[in-house]
Structure 1
Amino acid sequence: MTEAALRNDIARLCKSLFDRGFSVGSAGNVSVRLDDGYLITPTNSCLGFLDPARISRLDRKGHHVGGDKPSKEVFLHRAFYDTRAEARAVVHLHSTYATALSCLADTDPDDCIPPLTPYVVMRVGQVPLVPYFRPGDARGGELIRALGGRHAAVLLANHGPVVSGRDLTSTVYAAEELEETAKLLVTLRGQSLRMLDVAQVAELKATFG
Structure 2
Amino acid sequence: MTEFSLRLEMVKIAKSMFERGYSSGGAGNLSLKLPDGNLLATPTNTSFGDLDPDRLSKVDPDGNHLDGDKPSKEVLMHIAMYRQRPQAGGIVHLHSPYLTALSCVDGLDPANCLPPITPYYVMRVGKLPLIPYFRPGSPRIAEEVEKLAAGHGSVLLANHGPVISGKSLREAMFNAEELEETARLYFILRNGPMRTLTDDQVAELEQVFKGKM
Match of 1:59 in 2: 60
Match of 1:160 in 2: 161
Match status 1:31 vs 2:35:
no
Aligned pairs for 1:33-182 within 5 A: 33-34=33-34, 35-147=36-148, 149-182=150-183
**Aligned pair count?**
209
State the AA in 2 paired with 1:127.
Answer: L
* Contact 1:37 1:61 (C-alpha < 8 Å) held by counterparts: no
State the AA in 1 paired with 2:27.
Answer: A
Shift in Å at residue 148 of structure 1?
5.2
How has the CA–CA distance of structure 1 residues 148 and 25 changed in structure 2, closer, same or farther, with 3 Å as cutoff?
Answer: closer
Shift in Å at residue 108 of structure 1?
1.3
Shift in Å at residue 161 of structure 1?
0.5
Q: Distance in 2 between matches of 1:148 and 1:31?
A: 16
Q: Distance in 1 between matches of 2:37 and 2:173?
A: 22
Match of 2:191 in 1: 190
* Contact 1:31 1:77 (C-alpha < 8 Å) held by counterparts: yes
Runs of at least 5 residues in structure 2 that lack an aligned partner in the other structure:
none
Q: Flag as ranges the 4+ runs of structure 1 deviating above 6 A.
A: none
* Contact 1:37 1:59 (C-alpha < 8 Å) held by counterparts: yes
State the AA in 1 paired with 2:64.
Answer: H
* Contact 1:37 1:62 (C-alpha < 8 Å) held by counterparts: no
Q: Distance in 2 between matches of 1:148 and 1:2?
A: 27
Shift in Å at residue 189 of structure 1?
1.6
Q: Distance in 1 between matches of 2:61 and 2:194?
A: 45
SS in 2 for 1:174: helix
| TM, length-normalised to structure 1 | 0.97
SS in 1 for 2:50: coil
Shift in Å at residue 84 of structure 1?
1.0
RMSD: 1.0
